[in-house]
Chains A and B, each alone.
Chain A
Amino acid sequence: MPSRTKDILIWITTFMIMLIICMPGLWIILSAFRTNGEILTKPAIWIPETLTLDNFRAIFGYGENVVGVPVASYFRNSIIISATSTFLAVFIGMTGGYAFARYRFPGKGSTFLWLMLSRTVPGIALSLPIFIIWSRMGIIDTKFGVILVYTAINVPFTIWLTEGFFRQVPQDLNEAAQIDGCTRWEAFWKIEFPLAKSGIASAGIFAFLTSWNEYALASQLTRSTDSKTLPVGLMDFTAQFTIDWAGMCAMAVIIIIPALILTFLVQKHLIAGLTFGGVKG
Chain B
Amino acid sequence: MAEVSLKNVVKRYGALEVVHGIDLEIAHNEFVVLVGPSGCGKSTTLRMIAGLEDISDGEIAIGDKVVNMLPPRKRNISMVFQNYALYPHMSVRENLGFSLKIAKRAPEDITKAVDDAADILGLTELLERTPAELSGGQRQRVAMGRAIVRHPDVFLFDEPLSNLDAKLRTQMRVEIKKLHSKVKTTIVYVTHDQIEAMTLADRIVIMKDGHIVQIGTPLEVFERPVDTFVAGFIGSPPMNLIEGSVKDDHVVFSDGRSLPVPPDFTGKIANGRRVVFGFRADVLMPKGHTLAESGVLHDIDLTIDMAEPLGSESILLTTLGGQDIQARMHNPRPVTSGEVLTCELHLEKCHLFDADTTQSLRG
Q: Report A's interface with B, CB cutoff 8 A.
A: 170, 172-173, 175-183, 186, 190-191, 194-195, 274-281
B73 interface hit (Cβ, 8 Å): yes
Q: In this complex, what residue of B is CB-closest to A171?
A: B85
Q: In this complex, what residue of B is CB-closest to A275?
A: B132
If A175-B85, A181-B99, A186-B102 touch, does A281 touch B139 (CB 8 Å cutoff)? yes
B52 touches A178 (CB 8 A): yes
Distance of B169 from chain A, by nearest CB (Å): 14
Q: Report B's interface with A, CB cutoff 8 A.
A: 50-52, 71-73, 77-79, 81, 83-89, 95, 98-99, 102-103, 130-136, 139, 146, 163
Distance of A217 from chain B, by nearest CB (Å): 39
B102 touches A181 (CB 8 A): yes
Q: Can you list 10 pairs linking A and B with CB atoms under 8 Å apart? A: A170-B83, A175-B72, A177-B87, A178-B71, A181-B102, A195-B88, A195-B89, A274-B89, A276-B132, A278-B85
Distance of A183 from chain B, by nearest CB (Å): 7
Most buried by B among A173, A194, A278: A278
Distance of A236 from chain B, by nearest CB (Å): 47
Q: In this complex, what residue of A is CB-closest to B77?
A: A179
- How many angstroms from the CA of A99 to the CA of B134 in the assembled complex? 32
Distance of B148 from chain A, by nearest CB (Å): 12
Q: In this complex, what residue of B is CB-closest to A174?
A: B85
Distance of A177 from chain B, by nearest CB (Å): 8
- How many angstroms from the CA of A274 to the CA of B130 in the assembled complex? 12
Could you say which residues of chain B place their CB within 8 Å of the CB of A279? 83-86, 88
Could you say which residues of chain A place their CB within 8 Å of the CB of B86? 176, 277-279
If A178-B73, A183-B73 touch, does A277 touch B85 (CB 8 Å cutoff)? no
Could you say which residues of chain A place their CB within 8 Å of the CB of B84? 278-280
Residue of B71, B77, B133 touching A277 (CB-CB under 8 A): B133
Q: In this complex, what residue of B is CB-closest to A178?
A: B72
A180 touches B130 (CB 8 A): no
Residue of A178, A191, A280 touching B83 (CB-CB under 8 A): A280
Q: In this complex, what residue of B is CB-closest to A175?
A: B52
B50 touches A179 (CB 8 A): yes
Distance of A99 from chain B, by nearest CB (Å): 18
Counting residue pairs across A and B whose Cβ atoms lie within 8 Å, the total is 92
Distance of B165 from chain A, by nearest CB (Å): 11
Could you say which residues of chain A place their CB within 8 Å of the CB of B95? 278
Could you say which residues of chain A place their CB within 8 Å of the CB of B77? 179
If A181-B102, A281-B139 touch, does A276 touch B88 (CB 8 Å cutoff)? yes
- How many angstroms from the CA of A172 to the CA of B85 in the assembled complex? 6
Distance of B197 from chain A, by nearest CB (Å): 23
B131 touches A278 (CB 8 A): yes
- Which 10 A-B pairs have CB atoms at the shortest separation, nearest pair first? A277-B132, A278-B86, A278-B88, A172-B85, A180-B99, A278-B131, A181-B102, A176-B85, A275-B132, A181-B73
B102 touches A182 (CB 8 A): yes
Distance of A172 from chain B, by nearest CB (Å): 4
A191 touches B87 (CB 8 A): yes
Distance of A273 from chain B, by nearest CB (Å): 11
A170 touches B102 (CB 8 A): no
A281 touches B89 (CB 8 A): no
B136 touches A182 (CB 8 A): no
Task: A179-B52, A181-B73, A279-B84 given; name 14 further pairs at CB < 8 Å.
Answer: A170-B83, A176-B87, A178-B73, A179-B72, A180-B98, A181-B99, A182-B73, A183-B73, A194-B89, A275-B88, A277-B86, A277-B131, A278-B95, A278-B132
Could you say which residues of chain B place their CB within 8 Å of the CB of A173? 85, 87-88
Could you say which residues of chain B place their CB within 8 Å of the CB of A181? 73, 99, 102-103
Q: In this complex, what residue of A is CB-closest to B78?
A: A179
- How many angstroms from the CA of A171 to the CA of B163 in the assembled complex? 18
Could you say which residues of chain B place their CB within 8 Å of the CB of A275? 88, 130, 132
Most buried by A among B85, B87, B102, B133: B85
B79 touches A281 (CB 8 A): no
A172 touches B103 (CB 8 A): no
Could you say which residues of chain A place their CB within 8 Å of the CB of B72? 175, 178-179
Distance of A69 from chain B, by nearest CB (Å): 47
- How many angstroms from the CA of A175 to the CA of B87 in the assembled complex? 11
Could you say which residues of chain B place their CB within 8 Å of the CB of A182? 73, 102
Q: In this complex, what residue of A is CB-closest to B90?
A: A278
- How many angstroms from the CA of A179 to the CA of B98 in the assembled complex? 11
- How many angstroms from the CA of A188 to the CA of B104 in the assembled complex? 18
Could you say which residues of chain A place their CB within 8 Å of the CB of B99? 179-181
Residue of A175, A180, A183 touching B146 (CB-CB under 8 A): A180
Q: In this complex, what residue of A is CB-closest to B104?
A: A181
If A172-B81, A186-B102, A280-B83 touch, does A179 touch B73 (CB 8 Å cutoff)? yes
- How many angstroms from the CA of A154 to the CA of B111 in the assembled complex? 44
Could you say which residues of chain B place their CB within 8 Å of the CB of A276? 88, 132
Residue of A190, A277, A281 touching B163 (CB-CB under 8 A): A281
- How many angstroms from the CA of A281 to the CA of B137 in the assembled complex? 10
- How many angstroms from the CA of A280 to the CA of B77 in the assembled complex? 23
- How many angstroms from the CA of A281 to the CA of B86 in the assembled complex? 11
